[in-house]
Structure 1
Amino acid sequence: MSQVPLVVDPEKRLESRSSATHKRFKPSADDEATQFLWATYLDQANNYDKLLLEGWKGDMGGMLLFSALYSAILAPFLIESYPRLQADPADATVAILTQMSQQLASLSNGTTFTSESRPPFEPDTASMVCNTLWFLSLALAITCSLLATFVQQWVRDFLHKTAVRPSPIAKARILAFSYFGLRRFGMHTFVDIIPMLMHISLSFFFAGLVAFLYPINRPLAYLMACILGIFIFVYLGLSCIPLVYLDAPYRTPVSDLIWRFGIMLRGFFLRRHHHTEEPNLTEAMLEASFKDYKERDRQCMKFTMKSLNTDVELLPLLWAIPEAVIRSSTEVRAANLELIAPILRSPDPDENIISRISAFITVSGFSADPERQNMGMETALRALWSLARLVIDHGKKQLSTPNTTTPVLWFDRDLLTTFERLGSAPTSYVISAFALVRTSRLQSFRCYIDAVANKLSTETSNRERLRMAKDVFEGVSFGDIHWTSNLFRQHFSQLGITLRKGHATGISDTRAEELVKDAKGHVSELQSPGRWKAALMFVLGEFLFWTTSLKVIPFEMDLTHDLICDSIPGVFDSEQTVEVEHDEAEVSLLLRNISSFPNDVPEEVFRLVFQLAFSTERALLSRDCRGIVITYLYHMGRIVWPIDLRWDRRNDVGQCILQDIRDSDSQNPSLSVILIRSIYHALPITSLQVPQQLRDFAMQIFELIPKASEQFTQDRWWHSIEAYTEWILCKDILNRLDTSNNDTVPAHDPRLMDDVCSLGRRVFSDDVQTPKYPSSGKADECRKWAEEIKAYVMSINLLMVSKFISINCDTDDPDGRVYMGDWVGMQCWLFNYSGHIFDDVQLQFAKSVRTLGSIWNQPPAARRVFQESIWRLSQHWCWITNVESAKILLEVIRQHKDSRVFFRGWIGHEQELFNRCTELTEKAKAGKDLAEDDLLQ
């Protein structure tokens, strides 16, 4: 047997320690990747544990102090009471002296004295009860002190173990291990028992005090018994009240025992408090706090506003408002209106958030500290903007709900005066907030009018209707009409007069009925969308006027604009135009007063001003407004090409050009012509279809081309615009006709045939007739008609190609620019076409190609795009059937081949065209020689 060495080698000891160290937990790579997850757990767990353990430490510290004082108080009582448990020596001395005196008396009397033995000592019942209770009380108090000391020690040990390792994952696992052990061994219950023992100790003390006083002084003992009874009654009451009313602040350690007993006793407390699970008392209290909380939340908001006395205290609340009421750019947190409404409606200036904001921005607006001023103003104005947005959203829902009787929240008119006094405020926030406040007031005004209408339509007597309507109508005044509308003011005044007449005493039923009818008529006029469109236009005009005048982009400009437009449903409806009176539309002419240069007016601002202008017909009829639009977009096109016109859904820009052509009073015809091209490219033609908006605009231009005055037709770009207009209509016809399949017989569409006839009459001579659909409807005749109509339309297609080639050959643009139009679209329809094309069109195409070839080496260089694309028009060129055209094309191709500078091999399908033209000319020559031989013979 080998012996164990007594001395261990130090190196081996280190090696052993090292191996033991390696056996310890080390986080793996996967564990390290989860450290942030565990860090989140630690944050939450530490918060919970810190509150729990700190609470235990505080409770145990108080328990130690109380038990020490209590034991010190109890000790003198014990010193006084425990001697009653044993015989008193003074009583024995008295007994002996008594016996001696009796013996002496007997001797003097000559009688015999008989001594009696004393009974053994037995303490009285009161002393036994008193001392028993007091000693038990002392023992419990000392036990509580010991247990409290243990709890403090265990808490310190728990905190030390959970903080000994720095790694988040190690710390988290130690914390979880220790906490679940704490729960497993019921330390929560252990801690709850300690104060319960102290309470029992106090009960024993009071009971012992009664027993102590009973043999000494009965009345005093009865008094202490009553106090003991009251103590027990109050203690039980404090224990039971939180079981019935979960929001009660009272609670004793017995409360949890009674709660558990009540749950076991057929779930009494669960049924009372509507719990489906079995929570403990604390969990039940926490769960109850989330039921019926809305009224408490409102009171909290009022208390908060009342407590914030200074601007420094108010600022955090204002900072939190946007997040509380705004969910996203398109949604608000409508549910939170119930939380905010009490401080919006409150008549107390100290509780009303709008009054506080008004006072805040007044003070901040005149602050001597610029940094504080800007920060405070931005925060307050953004909060006000957010509140106005929330109120406007609420108002929209209310206006959309039938039989609305309660007006929406009303912003104080004094707030508008506060805005007007602001000097060097953050302008972008002021403009937006001011606009939404005005919008909210308008919306509220409209809700008051609707409420008056509802009162006039209720099922009651006419006099009662007039009385209720007048009560609602008094919520607004003539001074709230801050926009220009003589018609609105007139009906508003008449409505007020009518309602006051109905409120007079002694009116007859007939007269009341007449007044109700008259009031309904005025209300109907006041509810007209045109009246409210004028009001919102005024707000928009004011909003955009300050935007353009101060050259500043307002806070959330687009969103603010949309909120204003949508605040009253049915007013700014894109599907239909709501007309306004002449005096109401004056604000829409703001467009004529702005700059026509994008550097002065950003595009996003111009769009909003444009939309305001064309919300009525005044801007379209104004030559100045149209001139601003055309000039601005022309300059924009020089910066960005093509310009973005997706926002112009109704094509009002196009209507400006059309109106200029109709009236022949354009301020700058050349810009109008260029803008037509911009619109064509802003609404691009795809390979498969022509947008309906583009097609409609092109058709309107097509109809006006013959009527256009010289100021348009003499422009160098006019003919290219004319050709492109025709091509747009041609491509639309090609898409609807579907000429891609030569075997397809297109269905007869009268509207399509009208478009074909209109275009054909414009581009062809009078000799070319549009094929007519056969009336018989026979298959052979329909197939023949299909071939003819396809040839007709494809001839127009090739004619468009010829026009674009000729136009760009004749261009004299100083910058050497060409206008290709939809060149790819023109090519794609011809590429695989194998049908017939009119001879005259083929000849015109060949001549245009020859013209292009004659200026091959002349500027502009962009013509080379045409020169190279010509040979890609067709894959097989089978639609070239005219011999004269073939000869011209052969001539051009030979010129191209003979050019040493530009010819670098065949381009596209130039070789196929050369072969096709050679074949046609050789056949024609052979036919001519054969004819000449026949003549000779």
Structure 2
Amino acid sequence: MSERKGVSDGYHTSKYDNPSAKLWSVYLSEARKYDKALAHNWKGDMDAILIFAGLFSASVTAFIIEGYRNLSPDPNVPSLALLAQISRQLAMVTNTSTPLMEPIPKISTSAEFSPTTLAVVYNILWFLSLSFSLVCALSATMVEQWTRSYLHSSDRRPAPQDSARINAYLFQGIEKYGMSAVVEAIPTLLHISLFLFFAGLVVFLFPVNATLGSIVLTMFVICCGLYFLITFLPIYYLDCPYRTPGSFICWRILQILGLLQYEDADGIVKPLTGSMSDAQDLAATEVTLQRHERDLKAMSWAIKALREDSELEPFIEVIPNVASGADYSSKRLLLRLLHHQDVNIRLDYRIPQLLATCNSGVLDAALSQKRAVTCLTAIWSITMISMPNEINLVSDSARSILRFSEDTLGMLYTFQVELPTVREYIASTATVVARGLLDMHMNRIKAFQHKLIGLIHARETMSTTGSEISSASMCESKCTQCTPRQQIIHSLRRQLETLKLYLIKRQKMTIAMPYVIMETIAQHHTRLINMLGDSSNHLDMYLLHDVLNSLQVFEVSLNQAGFSLALEYIQNILSSSSLPYEAFNTVRRAVFKIDCNLQIDHSSQSLLVEYLDEIVERERTCESRKVPLNIIDRVLGMTRALNDPICVNKAKGIINRLSRITPRDAAMKALTRLDAELEMGDDAPLELFTFHLYTDVRIAK
């Protein structure tokens, strides 16, 4: 009985117990995937070559059988000549009127035969064609055999470390001896065989029929031209799918001559190194405007193909990772997909539509909650993407950079009631969406102011003196009563007052209503500024003054709205049993663009002090519901908006108490700012008692 495999060949099973086995298993797993893919590609190519080479060789053989006859004398020619001579002699014998006998023609022999030049040429071409075809078939067969041997040799040892080392040894041999180049060269043999056959066919047909030979020659020349075209085309156009084996040879020659260059993203011309595949990879992945357009086209096709909600959900699920990553191009792609012209592609429509399916009653509770969380985190992440040079001071395009509209806020408010299990996600998402709407309106105000400055400068160059402009505009303004312009101004003032009352009543800032009012105000401003721009000779100074004043009032209201939004989110943090989703980043986003130099109403300042007091009290007494320190730092930063002496004194006492519990740099900076605020304003001696109380103890409410 034969010995067991692994013993007879000297392989010892004790080597199995190697600590590095798992380490090499990782390499072996990846190597086997690569080897199988490589072998599959080679086998597919060689199988196709074998089939074509076999059929082509049979066809060439048929032509050779017909053509090689012209290389030797026809054995029937002497017999025919002899019969013809006998026939003539018999005719002369029977015909007595012939006075003389005709000379007997000389019968040619095989030694005197000489084939024509054309016959020699096309036979040479055809025999060469057959030879190249057979060599190609033999090479393809050998490649398949080598591939099988390589795969078998890599897997013949059971120990991972041994199999991995054998695999690496053999693979390095493949690279060392250029087996890939050999495999790529095999189709070249078949191409040469085809060209030789066509050339021989042309030479063969011309003596038979010049017209037929000319037609075949024309077709042959056209095919050669196309062949050379597709040989050089992928060298200069790397995305071209057409290529021949000669393309790689020409690529290498041009590379050696230094004729292959490319221009990088910085405009620097560099030589192309590496193979044609490396150059393709570089052209496909280098950050260029063309790559951005390709990415958009490819991803648009992918999203449009995701027709089912279950197919779209995995795509939406990866958006937070993309948005939080460092790849600028991917973030830019997300924002372009957000406002795509095709409604089946644009994410600001597809994501809310997917979110709407969560309360349709079709999904069970677990799947509904998972999908809702996926959509909410995607909306939050997209809204939080920060891109440089995104703000464009053109009021008409202000909404073009808006991530999600007022409709999204309305949907989120509805879901807050219908899906209470995801309330923490809804609170954070609604806050950043609302902050995005406020930022849009702030950018509009800057655009309006920029446009008004341009109008003033333009009109100054067209007028003689500023006093003439002012007097003319005043006269005209006094003469216009109850015009559409006046109606817009009255409506604008009413809307500003409505927004102010809404903020005073401290109603929710994460619903659509206040932002609808803001949009109406912005539209009124747009119409009034357009009227100013339509004035042909002068500016209406009364109208200009009204617009500037209303813009200032609107800016203060927007800043107040942002402060109220931040307070509302802080209240959510304090009232929630668990911390909302991405609470710190949401707070940071909510307070980032608050202008503390603009006036904040007294009730908001008092509420901030109250929330700060509760945060410090939790820090002192409650271990389980403490507010994270980074959020506390952001709340301390909001104290820059305090200018009411009572609130300032209370805040100082609270912060002093916090400093004794947890010393913070943010607390020291806040105290410094508050001291400076008190020095700038009037002293409030009656509140010193309150200050000392807040320094030591929290007053019960």
* CA shift for structure 1 position 137: 1.4
Whether 1:71 aligns to 2:52 is no
Which of 70, 88, 104 is 1:84 aligned to? 70
Match in the other structure for 1:579: 599
Whether the aligned pair in 1 keeps the contact of 2:272 and 2:279 (CA below 8 Å) is no
Q: Secondary structure at the match of 1:289?
A: helix
Whether 1:449 aligns to 2:476 is no
Q: Secondary structure at the match of 1:461?
A: helix
Structure with larger RCO (C-alpha < 8 A, sep 6+): 2
Whether the aligned pair in 2 keeps the contact of 1:405 and 1:451 (CA below 8 Å) is no
Match in the other structure for 2:340: 346
Match in the other structure for 2:209: 217
Whether 1:252 aligns to 2:248 is no
- Return closer, same or farther for 1:402/1:451 CA change in 2, 3 Å cut-off: closer
- Return closer, same or farther for 1:417/1:683 CA change in 2, 3 Å cut-off: closer
Which of 142, 147, 152 is 1:150 aligned to? 142
> Which residue identity lines up with residue 132 of structure 1 in the other structure?
I
Which of 90, 96, 102 is 1:113 aligned to? 102
CA distance in 1, matches of 2:273, 2:619: 71
**Cα deviation digits, residues 68-123 of structure 1 (max 9, x gap):** 22223333323332323333344334322322222223332242132222343333
Which has the higher mean CA deviation after the structures are superposed, 225-234 or 540-549?
540-549
Matches within 5 A, 1:409-808: 409-422=402-415, 423-424=418-419, 426-458=422-454, 461-462=458-459, 484-485=499-500, 492=522, 495-504=525-534, 507-511=535-539, 519-526=547-554, 528=555, 530-540=556-566, 543=569, 553-566=579-592, 568=593, 570-571=594-595, 578-581=598-601, 585=603, 588=604, 616-617=605-606, 629=613, 637=620, 639=622, 647=632, 649=636, 681-682=660-661
Root-mean-square deviation (CA, aligned residues, Å) is 4.7
CA distance in 2, matches of 1:345, 1:464: 40
Which of 221, 228, 249 is 1:236 aligned to? 228
CA distance in 2, matches of 1:220, 1:554: 84
Which of 377, 382, 386 is 1:382 aligned to? 377
Q: Secondary structure at the match of 1:180?
A: helix
Whether 1:54 aligns to 2:40 is yes
* CA shift for structure 1 position 678: 6.6
Q: Secondary structure at the match of 2:278?
A: helix
**Cα deviation digits, residues 883-915 of structure 1 (max 9, x gap):** xxxxxxxxxxxxxxxxxxxxxxxxxxxxxxxxx
* CA shift for structure 1 position 249: 0.9
- Return closer, same or farther for 1:203/1:303 CA change in 2, 3 Å cut-off: same
Whether the aligned pair in 2 keeps the contact of 1:64 and 1:149 (CA below 8 Å) is yes
Which of 326, 331, 336 is 1:337 aligned to? 331
Whether 1:288 aligns to 2:283 is yes
**Cα deviation digits, residues 778-812 of structure 1 (max 9, x gap):** xxxxxxxxxxxxxxxxxxxxxxxxxxxxxxxxxxx
The TM-score with structure 2 as length reference comes to 0.74
CA distance in 2, matches of 1:317, 1:482: 44
- Return closer, same or farther for 1:373/1:72 CA change in 2, 3 Å cut-off: farther
* CA shift for structure 1 position 253: 0.4
Which has the higher mean CA deviation after the structures are superposed, 235-244 or 408-417?
408-417
- Return closer, same or farther for 1:463/1:79 CA change in 2, 3 Å cut-off: farther
Q: Secondary structure at the match of 2:207?
A: coil
Gaps of 5+ in 1: 1-9, 466-476, 589-615, 664-672, 723-937
Whether the aligned pair in 1 keeps the contact of 2:85 and 2:105 (CA below 8 Å) is no
Q: Secondary structure at the match of 1:279?
A: coil
CA distance in 1, matches of 2:447, 2:638: 38
The structure richer in helix per residue is 2
**Cα deviation digits, residues 736-768 of structure 1 (max 9, x gap):** xxxxxxxxxxxxxxxxxxxxxxxxxxxxxxxxx
Q: Secondary structure at the match of 1:70?
A: helix
CA distance in 2, matches of 1:434, 1:706: 38
- Return closer, same or farther for 1:222/1:455 CA change in 2, 3 Å cut-off: same
Match in the other structure for 1:124: 116
Gaps of 5+ in 2: 463-491, 504-516, 679-683
Structure with bigger gyration radius? 1
Q: Secondary structure at the match of 2:115?
A: coil
- Return closer, same or farther for 1:641/1:683 CA change in 2, 3 Å cut-off: farther
CA distance in 2, matches of 1:444, 1:650: 23
Matches within 5 A, 1:131-170: 131-170=123-162
Match in the other structure for 1:267: 258
* CA shift for structure 1 position 246: 1.4
- Return closer, same or farther for 1:483/1:181 CA change in 2, 3 Å cut-off: farther
Match in the other structure for 1:42: 28
- Return closer, same or farther for 1:479/1:54 CA change in 2, 3 Å cut-off: farther
> Which residue identity lines up with residue 458 of structure 2 in the other structure?
S
* CA shift for structure 1 position 278: 3.4
Matches within 5 A, 1:838-849: none
Whether the aligned pair in 2 keeps the contact of 1:494 and 1:522 (CA below 8 Å) is no
Whether the aligned pair in 2 keeps the contact of 1:210 and 1:221 (CA below 8 Å) is yes
**Cα deviation digits, residues 672-698 of structure 1 (max 9, x gap):** x9x99976852689xxxx99969x99x
**Cα deviation digits, residues 839-876 of structure 1 (max 9, x gap):** xxxxxxxxxxxxxxxxxxxxxxxxxxxxxxxxxxxxxx
Match in the other structure for 1:360: 354
Whether the aligned pair in 2 keeps the contact of 1:134 and 1:208 (CA below 8 Å) is yes
* CA shift for structure 1 position 179: 1.4
> Which residue identity lines up with residue 236 of structure 1 in the other structure?
F
Which has the higher mean CA deviation after the structures are superposed, 162-171 or 188-197?
162-171
> Which residue identity lines up with residue 268 of structure 1 in the other structure?
L
- Return closer, same or farther for 1:635/1:376 CA change in 2, 3 Å cut-off: closer
* CA shift for structure 1 position 358: 1.2
* CA shift for structure 1 position 414: 2.9
Match in the other structure for 1:373: 368
* CA shift for structure 1 position 306: 1.7
* CA shift for structure 1 position 228: 0.6
**Cα deviation digits, residues 566-614 of structure 1 (max 9, x gap):** 1x2x53xxxx5642347xx5xx4xxxxxxxxxxxxxxxxxxxxxxxxxx
CA distance in 2, matches of 1:324, 1:404: 30
Q: Secondary structure at the match of 1:210?
A: helix
Whether the aligned pair in 2 keeps the contact of 1:643 and 1:678 (CA below 8 Å) is no
Q: Secondary structure at the match of 1:384?
A: helix
> Which residue identity lines up with residue 252 of structure 1 in the other structure?
T
Match in the other structure for 2:318: 320
* CA shift for structure 1 position 482: 13
CA distance in 2, matches of 1:512, 1:705: 50
> Which residue identity lines up with residue 502 of structure 1 in the other structure?
L
> Which residue identity lines up with residue 269 of structure 1 in the other structure?
L
Whether the aligned pair in 2 keeps the contact of 1:322 and 1:386 (CA below 8 Å) is yes
* CA shift for structure 1 position 147: 0.8
**Cα deviation digits, residues 338-381 of structure 1 (max 9, x gap):** 22122012121111012111111112331333332222222122
CA distance in 1, matches of 2:252, 2:580: 62
Q: How many corresponding residue pairs?
A: 610
Whether the aligned pair in 1 keeps the contact of 2:153 and 2:166 (CA below 8 Å) is yes
> Which residue identity lines up with residue 661 of structure 2 in the other structure?
A
Which of 301, 308, 322 is 2:299 aligned to? 301
- Return closer, same or farther for 1:370/1:115 CA change in 2, 3 Å cut-off: farther
